[in-house]
Amino acid sequence: MAEMTGTKAFNVAMKELMEKDDKILVLGEGVGRKGGTWGYFADLWTTYGNSRMIDTPIAEAGFSCVGNGLAYGGYRPVIEYMFADFSSLGFDAIVNQAAKARYNSNGELSLPITFIMPNSGGGKSGNQHSQSVEAWYSNAPGLKIVTPTTPGDVRRFLKAAILDDDPVVFMHARGMMFMSEEVDETDMSIPSLANAGKIVTEGKDLTIVSWHRMLPRCLEAAAEVTKETGKTIEVIDPRVLLPFDIDTVVKSVAKTGKAMVVHEAPARGGFGMQVSAMIGENCLKDLKAPVKRIGGYNTSIPFGVGEEYAYPQVEDIKVGIMELLK
Amino acid sequence: MKFTKDQMLKLYEELVHVRTMNNKIVEFIFSGRIAGAIHPSLGQEAIVAGLLYAYENHHQTVYRSFTHRQQAIMARSAGIDGFLAELMNRATGTLGGIAGEYHLVKIDKLMLPLSGVLGVTPPTATGFAWSLKLDGRKDAVVCCPFGDGMMSEGYVYEAMNIASIHKVPILFVIENNGMAMTTPLEWESPIEDLYLRGISAGMKGASVDGNDIEATVEALMEGLDQAGKCNPNVIELKTVRWEGHFVGDKQEVYRDLSFRDNLDKLDPVLRYEKVLLERGVANEDHFAKVKADQEKIMAEAFEKAASAPFPKKEDFLNPNIVYTNTDGLPIK
Amino acid sequence: MKFTKDQMLKLYEELVHVRTMNDKIVEFIFGGRIAGAIHPSLGQEAIVAGLMFAYENTPYEVWRTGTHRQQAAMARTVGLDGFLAELMNRATGTVHGIAGEYHLVKLDKKLLPHSGVLGVTPPTATGFAWSLKLGGKTNAVVSCPFGDGMMSEGYVYEAMNIASIHKVPILFIIENNGMAMSTPLEWESPIEDLYLRGISAGMKGSSIDGNDVEAVVEATLEGLDQAAKYNPNVIEMKTIRWGGHFVGDKQEVYRDMSFQEGLEKHDPVIRYEQTLLERGVANEDHFAKVKAEQRKLLDAAFEKAVEAPFPKKEDFLNPNIVYTNTDGLPL
């Protein structure tokens, strides 16, 4: 076991992959000598040089498509955007090109490309550097969306994302990548993207589905509620949004009878709507209350000190839990 | 470049081949046997035929992307029966009739992906060309033709810059027919000579009469030769679009039709016939025979494609054509 | 252009003003009093000062976009106190500390939006310039500066073509400091002279020494004049970025630091001091005096800004700053 941050875990995963597969290359702004905006690619340039760690012009549209072209040519490109917000400039390459490449070859090929999107707030950088964009991509069949939260999961699911033969949008909580945990470095298994849900804490009175920066907040709120009421809460980290592991959630709701989804993106139109609908469709007989959704305010993310006002806080989640437990 | 008699006759045959395919497409659309908006290359045959010739005579393997006006090249690349069936949405198509002519991709037949969204083809082709370079392949090159309309997309600019910085083996070919769908060049570009955009990306570039089949071939052969040595470059081929943007498009609504006054002078087929007559290489009988031969080939091929069945519902809704692994990803 | 003595002294003051503001920003960041990544223009002061001077000395109304390195020009546009408060996220800011320096827009002060997402500023400014033309305004023009990094975005190419086709009154200024964040020019552009991209969009263009404040002023005034006559054009100003991409960015990791040798030769402040000494326009005492004055001015302004309160939660979560009509659209 080794203590590592999310950033380190990302870096370790990249090293482990690039050593084994020389078809993996990285394109993005500053991914070469600088080691990436966030340091995810530190030291890789020293080993792999300009041919595999490719500093691009600030041209997201162009380098996203170039990545697709490299994938058509048999490579396994990893495309990094500085911020998930900037993926808007590469949107067509992702939703109209990569996502449809397999269909347009009648299933003959697929693009094994991974789009790295540093998601979420925490940097106080305002409304174009802090968004959580899961929902932007969840309506484009052909894409998979991988959203690990903890360092250990970042390491394993990044590998799963890159090794997957379909185009994958890999979103991680940029604001949590400095946090560390003990990671089993010797575990070289590649997790399946299909049943990736993980029960983080077990409980019997309420099921919460949450990821990224809201996950620790849910755990904290749940612990407080348990302390105050004795009721226990099952918290599930889906880790992958597409394909979504509904079975794990259904089993949990069958036990608890109540469910809540919490994420950082605005509640309206957020992926929580999809989770809530799936729970509704699959658990109607078990549900003792309507599924509750807690998400960010339906506004721009404030710049600076106001940032957290727009995101759900532990207290908001706690209030939601108490309402559901009534 | 000096063309032999055989080469000239071949070029003429290719021109007629492309023209005949264009006419057949129009015929099949007006008779209701092809659905959808198809964009044949009527008037621009010298470019399509020239590319066909260059692809087959260049010393390296030429991976190619396509424009929506290059049906004849797609057909040559994928096989005419498979392509026409794909065009007509038939199950016997190159990709089972699923992708259609707009979205066809078949790497093992050298066909790079087409895109229904304008602009993304050049950066995608640039990425593919880069993969050839990374693979150390000296036997292959990419040719990426597109229209003057697409040239306005920022994607193309980004692609040219990236291709030029990294010296990837790609030839960009701008088919400048003076019309971006409904918009004439003066309202789509501040400059008339679009190859200058390639120059400003640090590449070599040239502008050529795209209605002159021999000039087109010469320029393309030189461009491919340079690209094959990792000197990406750009060739602008100037031509005239005779018809609407797609078959059935009423261009008289938006277009000054005075371009039609002397269209015969620009017609690449008639022009080449005159050249061959002047050179004593062929006569009217030969022209008539080539046309009849091509008409026969095309009529049979089109009939064969049109008589094939459509794909079934389950072919369209096959989850395996959306994901490689569909666990947890039902399409319904 | 012949500069009068007063104009030269003014230009020098502006240079020192910009330099001092840059130094203050660095000081406040390292002192933990400004949060976030801020990108001052250290080494590029001649461009910022030159633009400020040109904006104030052209006969035209100049609408302008900011960049992440033009704090001083933005401050002059919206007012120093309001800008610094906005930079520091304070409620006394130009837009109440809500938008911050990254996203500030204030049309009534002629400040057009600049975007946190790189590339979209030029097409947006082009649209605004077009609106001036459509509105029949004949004395108004748009100045749109941006860096060599942004020049790689297809948005800029599309903007230049559209501006040129429709002859809208806009001046594009490329601040070419040779670094796109962490990427040197050779890996971001196949050509060294970026104004050629403007030429290929059918515009007039030129490249000048962006560390020469008088050259910047001359070129900008001429460019604005042409733009106002509906001849959109482009000026490339070559300069050098001294620091990292933002304050705190460790550029030695990715950058060949040999550019630092002989840097004083490129220092726009020192260069202009030499010019003024040679011309007998000012002496060292004057330089010291200007620096002390600017220091005092900006010390006071920065202290004033930082003492102001932050916006309140309800200011940030005001539904009316999201929609004009919030019926059925709760936050």
Instruction: Give the pLDDT confidence of A211-253 residue by residue, as tens digits.
Output: 999 999 999 999 999 999 999 999 999 999 999 999 999 999 9
How many residues appear in chain C?
331
pLDDT at C151 over 90: yes
How many residues appear in chain B?
332
pLDDT at C141 over 90: yes
Q: Which of A37, A57, A306 sits opposite C188 (nearest CB)?
A: A57
User: Peptide bond before C184: cis, by omega within 30 degrees of 0?
Assistant: no
Q: Taking CA atoms, what residue in B is nearest to C156?
A: B154
Condensed to tens digits (0 to 9), the pLDDT of residues A293-305 reads 999 999 999 988 8
Q: Does residue B121 form part of some domain?
A: yes
Kindly tell me the number of DSSP H helices and DSSP E strands found in chain B.
14, 7
Would an 8 Å CB–CB cutoff place B317 in contact with chain A?
no
- All residues of chain B having their beta carbon less than 8 Å from the beta carbon of residue A32 are none
Q: Which of B108, B150, B157, B158 is the best mutation test for A, with the most CBs of A within 10 A?
A: B158
Q: Does residue C326 form part of some domain?
A: no
Residue B84's nearest CA partner among B39, B18, B168, B25 is: B25
Q: What is the pLDDT of residue C1?
A: 82
Q: Are B209 and B215 in contact (CB under 8 A)?
A: yes
Mean pLDDT of B69-87: 97
pLDDT at B37 over 90: no
Alpha helices in B2-146 (DSSP H): 5-30, 45-57, 71-78, 80-87, 100-103, 121-134
Q: Which residues pair with A35 in a beta bridge?
A: none
Q: Which of A61, A74, A105 sits opposite B155 (nearest CB)?
A: A61
Q: What is the pLDDT of residue C27?
A: 96
Q: pLDDT above 70 covers what percent of chain C? A: 100
Would an 8 Å CB–CB cutoff place B132 in contact with chain A?
yes
Q: Which residues pair with C233 in a beta bridge?
A: C171, C204
pLDDT at C331 over 90: no
One-letter amino acid of A178: F
Q: pLDDT above 90 covers what percent of chain A? A: 96
Local confidence band at C35 (pLDDT 50, 70, 90 cut-offs): confident
Q: Taking CA atoms, what residue in C is nearest to B188?
A: C165
Residue C42's nearest CA partner among C77, C13, C69 is: C69
- Domain containing residue C281: CATH number: 3.40.50.970
Q: Does residue C26 form part of some domain?
A: yes
User: Quick one: A159 exposed, middle or buried, by C-beta within 10 A (0-12, 13-18, 19+)?
Assistant: buried
Q: What is the pLDDT of residue A303?
A: 87
CA dist., res. C154 & res. B123, Å (int): 11
Mean pLDDT of chain C: 95
Q: Does residue C330 form part of some domain?
A: no
Residue B228's nearest CA partner among B184, B144, B169 is: B169
Q: Which of A21-35, B25-39, C265-279 has the lowest mean pLDDT?
A: B25-39
User: Sheet harboring B170-176: ordered strands across?
Assistant: B61-64, B140-147, B170-176, B233-238, B204-209
Q: Does residue C325 form part of some domain?
A: no
User: Sheet harboring A144-146: ordered strands across?
Assistant: A53-55, A24-28, A76-80, A114-119, A168-173, A144-146, A240-242
pLDDT at C329 over 90: no
Residue C50's nearest CA partner among C79, C81, C17, C22 is: C17
Q: What is the pLDDT of residue B91?
A: 96
Coil, strand, or helix at residue B206?
strand
Q: What is the pLDDT of residue C114?
A: 87
Two structure tokens written together for A214: 């809201």
Two structure tokens written together for C3: 């500069």
Q: What is the ipTM of this complex?
A: 0.92
Residue B216's nearest CA partner among B48, B19, B10, B8 is: B48
Domain tally for chain B?
Answer: 1
Q: What is the pLDDT of residue B113?
A: 94
Q: Does residue C166 form part of some domain?
A: yes
CA dist., res. C119 & res. C157, Å (int): 9
Of the CA atoms within 13 Å of residue B288, those in its CB half-sphere come to 3
pLDDT at B123 over 90: yes
Q: What is the pLDDT of residue B115?
A: 87
> What is the DSSP secondary structure assignment for residue A298, as one 8-state letter?
S
pLDDT at B156 over 90: yes
Look up A129 and say whether it is catalytic. yes
Q: What is the pLDDT of residue C70?
A: 95
Q: Are C240 and C178 in contact (CB under 8 A)?
A: yes
Which domains, and CATH codes, for chain A? 2-183 (3.40.50.970), 198-325 (3.40.50.920)
CA dist., res. C93 & res. C89, Å (int): 7
Give C278's contacts (C-beta < 8 A, 6+ positions apart).
none
pLDDT at B271 over 90: yes
pLDDT at A197 over 90: yes
pLDDT at C116 over 90: no
Q: Which of B155, B157, B230, B233 is the best mutation test for C, with the most CBs of C within 10 A?
A: B157
Condensed to tens digits (0 to 9), the pLDDT of residues C183-235 reads 999 999 999 999 999 999 999 999 999 999 999 999 999 999 999 999 999 99
Coil, strand, or helix at residue C112?
strand
C-alpha dist (Å) from residue C74 to C27, C235, C260, C295: 19, 20, 28, 19
Q: What is the pLDDT of residue A137?
A: 97
Subunits next to B (3 or more Cβ pairs <8 Å) are A, C
CA dist., res. A316 & res. A267, Å (int): 13
Smallest CA–CA separation between C222 and chain B, in Å?
A: 22
Kindly tell me the number of DSSP H helices and DSSP E strands found in chain A.
10, 14
C-alpha dist (Å) from residue A6 to A38, A177, A308, B155: 11, 4, 21, 33
Q: Which residue range(s) make up the domain with B109?
A: 5-309
CA dist., res. A232 & res. A203, Å (int): 4
- All residues of chain A having their beta carbon less than 8 Å from the beta carbon of residue C89 are 303-306
pLDDT at C292 over 90: yes
One-letter amino acid of B290: V
Q: What is the pLDDT of residue C227?
A: 98
Would an 8 Å CB–CB cutoff place B329 in contact with chain A?
yes
Q: Does residue C10 form part of some domain?
A: yes
Residue identified by tokens 């949004």 is A241
Mean pLDDT of A92-120: 95
Higher pLDDT: B166 or C114? It is B166
Local confidence band at A322 (pLDDT 50, 70, 90 cut-offs): very high
